[in-house]
Amino acid sequence: MEVEKLTIIDAQTEVEGKLKGKDARILGRFKGEIDISGRLVLSEGSHVEANVKAEAAEVGGEFKGDLTVRSLLLMEKAKIVGKIDAQVMAVREGAQMNGTISAGSKPGTGTSAG
C-alpha cells in the first residue's frame, strides 16, 4: 500500500457512512459501505459492519456484512458473520466464519461452498 494514498481510520475512531478510495486500513469502528479499488485491511481489534467491495482484503478483526473481493486473507483473530464472495481465499488457523462463502470463481458468479 502506498502511504500517500492510504486512508486510515484510527483505533479510537468510530465512523458511519460511505468510504470510497484506493487503499484503506481500519483500526477502529466503521459502519456503512466500503468501496475500495485497491487493498482493504481490517486490523486486529477493528469492528466493521458494512457492505464491502475491494480488490483485496485482509481481515484481522471483527466483520459483519457482505464482502466481495478478488483476494481475501483471514487472519488468526478474524471473526466474520455474513456473506463472502472471493476469487482467492486463504484462512489462517483460528479465524472464525459464520455465513455463506463463494470462493474459487470470479466474484459475483460463484456457487456457494458453505
Question: How many domains are there within the chain?
Answer: 1
Given a cut of 90, whether residue 77 has pLDDT beyond it is: yes
Q: 96: domain range?
A: 3-103
Q: Is residue 13 part of a domain?
A: yes
Query: Which long-range CB contacts under 8 A does 65-69 form with residues at least 24 apart?
Result: 68/107, 68/108, 69/40, 69/107
- 40-69: per-residue pLDDT in tens? 999 999 999 999 999 999 999 999 999 999
Q: Is residue 108 part of a domain?
A: no
Q: Is residue 88 part of a domain?
A: yes
Q: Is residue 112 part of a domain?
A: no
Nearest to 72 by CA among 108, 46, 107: 107
Q: Is residue 111 part of a domain?
A: no
The average pLDDT across 2-15 equals 83
E strand intervals along the chain: 6-9, 14-21, 23-26, 29-42, 47-59, 62-74, 79-91, 96-103
Q: Is residue 42 part of a domain?
A: yes
Cell (9 digits) for 87: 476469487
Q: Is residue 110 part of a domain?
A: no
User: 5: pLDDT confidence band, cut at 50, 70 and 90?
Assistant: confident
Q: Is residue 113 part of a domain?
A: no
104 — phi, psi (to 5°)? 100, -5
User: 112: pLDDT confidence band, cut at 50, 70 and 90?
Assistant: very low
